[in-house]
Amino acid sequence: MFCFGLSTIEALTKEPCWKWATCEDGKSFGTSAELAELMKAGGKPFSDALVQGRVVVNVDLLRGSDVVDNYSRNIVESIIRCLSLDPSERPTAMEVRETSKEMLLQAGLTLEEDELAVSTSDDDTCD
Residue 62 scores a pLDDT above 90: no
pTM for this one?
0.69
Closest by CA to 56, choosing from 77, 78, 75, 35, is 35
Q: How many domains does the chain have?
A: 1
Q: Are 1 and 91 in contact (CB under 8 A)?
A: yes
More confident: 22 or 107: 22
For residue 100, the enclosing domain spans 2-124
- Kindly indicate the confidence band of residue 121, based on its pLDDT and cuts at 50, 70 and 90: low
